[in-house]
């Protein structure tokens, strides 16, 4: 079966430490924002305005105390109070707009990235899919890309906003009293190191949590998917899987508890500092206000200034803390982009060369010319395989398991490229043809065909989306499945169930054959099912296959006597080489591997029943 042997690609749990931020990397990230630069500019502007509006209320309070109340101006007081209501309303409204713009930029960037990522993964060759865990791909397409949205609306917007808030606030504090401001700032460096450290530990835990979550989702996917569920059930491993899940789950819980506790003490101290800081201002400012009032100096530090100053200082708490750790967030965000770029940059091993030729209607001559191939560098699987199948003829591949039959089949539909030699269609190297023309010329029916969880009609139409109802029914008839489908309560609209589990093996195969008939390829690669069906089902399949093979070039991994008897040539594949070739009678007469296989596989296994009597 094609793609049956796969290596387990483990989730990369120990990711490399964050790479240093490069200019090229930033530029590349920036490219995703370029289409939305107008919205981005507006967001920056509104963030500046809201940050500016934030410093207004402390000054209104100052004016209320120092001017309106001190001088007994009721009218001014009314105006100031109205302003105290209007300013936050304005800030709030602008904030709503900013959030909308921000979210829409984030979502658009995410939309673009997700599409690009999926398209890039789609282009990959089979080698990639057999080596990568599906759960990991799902996690990249879903989680990593969603992370980007948080980066845009959280990290980047937060960075800009905090910078504005801190600059505005500091500016205003300086304008009130530069000495006091300098004093407040002098204490900041004490917090820099611990804040950063805590931030880093947090990040680390967050990363570990994400990895755990990814592991858990891949576990869920594997063990709760239909095939996995079947395996677990039939091996009676429910208990084991429950324990395994519980283990992962416990680890996740531990990490999350640590995550919520890390730096809690430290943050408590910072919080106390910030809450207590106004006391210092009141002490210093209060005394100055007293002495200034006595001396009646022109630039007196008034009660209003103390109030305004403490209010400003309190506003700095969150933004300063966030700015102290922002580089950790930025690094994490870039790591996220990096992971996505890694996948975007994957070069498919099978790809269309520039100027590839489209083949309008293939004649169907398939040839292997000294083809050698290895899945992994050190272990060659095919050694100089050569053969030719003339248009419309059938060649059967037989041989012991692991000999290389499926690999030959996979090379015909260009799932892989040979390491040396060439696979040709109508005497043209497959690598010189467009991927599309190869795909439309070569059809594959595997032992265990895949059906999408959709209606039978949709599964059939997958082969030829524009096909008419009459074509669909004709194909189903040819594949001996029409009567069965028509007899179902929902007919062609019947859902086949996850991977087609609601159909019997024989029915599923016939649906797959109907699908191939509808596709109508010139060349057919067929992996005959090994599992024996009851004779009626077997007869239906045989008839369906006869319809499918009629007039097409076929390369069949044969398990039935009827097939080898019908083949123009039989290739006996062993150890990656064609060790014998010819028609049945001749090979049988030689008394070598084929005759042995014949005795073991075709006759002894009771397959003689298939042979026309
Ligand atoms: P057959 O179809 O005759 O049973 P295959 O072509 O499936 O043989 O396999 C030939 C050899 O290639 C085997 O040794 C098998 O283990 C190896 N092989 C098949 N598929 C892969 C793969 N995706 N990655 C690595 N090795 C593979």
| 47-56 pLDDT tens trace | 999 999 999 9
Pocket test residue of 6, 125, 130, 404 for ligand 1, highest count of atoms within 8 A of CB = 404
Atom of ligand 1 nearest to the CA of 573: 3
Spell out the residues 6+ positions from residue 12 whose beta carbon is closer than 8 angstroms to its own: 136
Looking at residue 4, what is its pLDDT?
30
Half-sphere exposure of 159 (CA within 13 A, CB side): 13
Least confident of 196-205, 281-290, 298-307, 529-538: 529-538
pLDDT confidence of 411, banded at 50, 70, 90? very high
Atom of ligand 1 nearest to the CA of 7: 24
Looking at residue 501, what is its pLDDT?
67
Tokens matching residue 441: 């010329």
pLDDT confidence of 608, banded at 50, 70, 90? very low
Closest-CA residue, ligand 1 atom 25, reads 375
Domain 28-344 is found in CATH 3.50.50.60? no
Q: Could you give the residue range(s) of every CATH 3.40.50.300 domain in the chain?
A: 366-610
Pocket test residue of 380, 406, 410, 415 for ligand 1, highest count of atoms within 8 A of CB = 406
Q: What angle do CA 51, 54, 57 make, to 5 degrees?
A: 160
Looking at residue 1, what is its pLDDT?
31
Does residue 512 have a pLDDT over 70?
yes
Ligand 1 near 576 CB (within 6 A) = no
Closest-CA residue, ligand 1 atom 10, reads 404
Sign of the CA dihedral with 42 first, then 43, 49, and 53 last: positive
Q: Could you give the residue range(s) of every CATH 1.20.1560.10 domain in the chain?
A: 28-344
- Average pLDDT estimate for 274-301: 78
- Cα 546 to Cα 533: distance, rounded to the nearest angstrom: 17
- Cα 509 to Cα 522: distance, rounded to the nearest angstrom: 20
Looking at residue 524, what is its pLDDT?
94
- Average pLDDT estimate for 99-116: 91
* CATH architecture of the domain with residue range 366-610: 3-Layer(aba) Sandwich (3.40)
- Average pLDDT estimate for 277-294: 83
Mind listing the pLDDT tens digit for each residue in 141-160? 887 888 887 887 788 888 99
In residues, how long is the chain? 613
| Between residues 95 and 12, the one the model is more confident about | 95
Looking at residue 185, what is its pLDDT?
82
Give the torsion through C-alpha atoms of 420, 433, 468, 481, to 10 deg. Answer: -10
Ligand 1 near 407 CB (within 6 A) = yes
Sign of the CA dihedral with 563 first, then 564, 566, and 570 last: positive
pLDDT confidence of 290, banded at 50, 70, 90? confident
Looking at residue 15, what is its pLDDT?
45
Looking at residue 604, what is its pLDDT?
47
Mind listing the pLDDT tens digit for each residue in 21-48? 688 888 998 999 999 999 999 999 999 9
Ligand 1 near 404 CB (within 6 A) = yes
Does residue 381 have a pLDDT over 80?
yes
Helices assigned H by DSSP within 235-352: 238-261, 264-295, 303-344
Burial group, residue 257, by CB count within 10 angstroms (0-12, 13-18, 19+): exposed
């Amino acid at each position: 079966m094609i793609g049956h042997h796969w290596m387990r690609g483990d989730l990369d749990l120990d990711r490399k430490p964050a790479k240093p931020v490069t200019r090229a990397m930033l530029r590349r990230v920036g490219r995703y924002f370029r289409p939305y630069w107008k919205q981005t500019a507006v967001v920056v502007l509104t963030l500046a305005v809201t940050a500016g509006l934030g410093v207004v209320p402390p000054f209104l309070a100052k004016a209320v105390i120092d001017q309106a109340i001190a001088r007994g101006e009721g009218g001014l007081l009314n105006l100031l109070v109205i302003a105290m209501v209007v300013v936050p309303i304005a800030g709030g409204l602008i904030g709503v707009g900013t959030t909308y713009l921000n979210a829409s930029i984030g979502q658009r960037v995410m939309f673009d990235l997700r599409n690009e990522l999926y398209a890039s993964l789609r282009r990959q060759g089979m080698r990639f899919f057999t080596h990568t865990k599906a759960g990991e791909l799902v996690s990249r397409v879903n989680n990593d890309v969603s992370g980007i949205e948080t980066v845009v609306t959280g990290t980047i917007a937060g960075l800009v906003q905090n910078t504005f808030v801190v600059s505005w606030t500091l500016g205003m504090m300086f304008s009130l009293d530069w000495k006091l401001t300098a004093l407040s700032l002098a204490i900041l460096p004490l917090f820099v190191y611990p804040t950063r450290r805590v931030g880093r530990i947090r990040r680390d835990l967050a990363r570990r949590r994400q990895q755990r979550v990814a592991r858990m989702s891949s576990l869920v996917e594997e063990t709760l998917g239909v095939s996995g569920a079947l395996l677990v059930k039939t091996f009676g491993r429910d208990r084991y899987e429950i324990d395994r899940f519980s283990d992962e789950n416990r680890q996740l819980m531990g990490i999350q508890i640590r995550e919520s506790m890390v730096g809690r003490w430290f943050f408590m101290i910072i919080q106390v500092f910030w809450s207590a800081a106004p006391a210092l201002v009141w002490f210093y400012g209060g005394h100055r206000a007293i002495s200034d009032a006595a001396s009646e100096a022109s630039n007196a530090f008034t009660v209003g200034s103390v109030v305004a100053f403490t209010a400003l200082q309190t506003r700095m708490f969150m933004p300063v803390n966030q700015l102290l750790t922002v580089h950790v967030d930025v690094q994490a965000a870039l790591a996220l982009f990096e992971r996505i770029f890694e996948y975007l940059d994957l070069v498919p091993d099978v790809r269309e060369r520039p100027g590839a030729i489209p083949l309008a209607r293939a004649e169907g001559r398939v040839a292997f010319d000294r083809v050698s191939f290895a899945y992994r560098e050190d272990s060659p699987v095919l050694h100089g395989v050569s053969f030719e199948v003339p248009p419309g003829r059938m060649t059967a591949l037989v041989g012991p398991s692991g000999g290389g039959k499926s690999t030959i089949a996979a090379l015909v539909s260009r799932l892989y490229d040979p390491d040396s030699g060439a696979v040709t269609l109508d005497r043209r190297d497959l690598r010189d043809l467009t991927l599309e023309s190869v795909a439309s010329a070569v059809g594959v029916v595997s032992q265990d065909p895949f059906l999408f969880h959709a209606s039978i009609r949709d599964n059939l139409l997958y082969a030829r989306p524009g096909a008419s109802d009459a074509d669909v029914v004709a194909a189903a008839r040819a594949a001996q499945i029409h009567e069965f489908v028509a007899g179902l309560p929902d007919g062609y609209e019947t859902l086949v169930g996850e991977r087609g589990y609601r159909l019997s093996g024989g029915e599923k195969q016939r649906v797959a054959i109907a699908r191939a008939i509808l596709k109508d390829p010139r060349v057919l690669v067929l992996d005959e099912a090994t599992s024996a069906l009851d004779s009626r089902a077997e007869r239906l399949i045989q008839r369906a296959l006869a319809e499918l093979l009629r007039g097409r070039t076929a390369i069949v991994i044969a398990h039935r006597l009827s097939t080898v008897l019908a083949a123009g040539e039989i290739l006996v594949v062993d150890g990656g080489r064609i060790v014998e070739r010819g028609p049945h009678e001749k090979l049988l007469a030689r008394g070598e591997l084929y005759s042995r296989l014949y005795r073991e596989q075709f006759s002894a296994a009771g397959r003689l029943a298939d042979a026309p009597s």
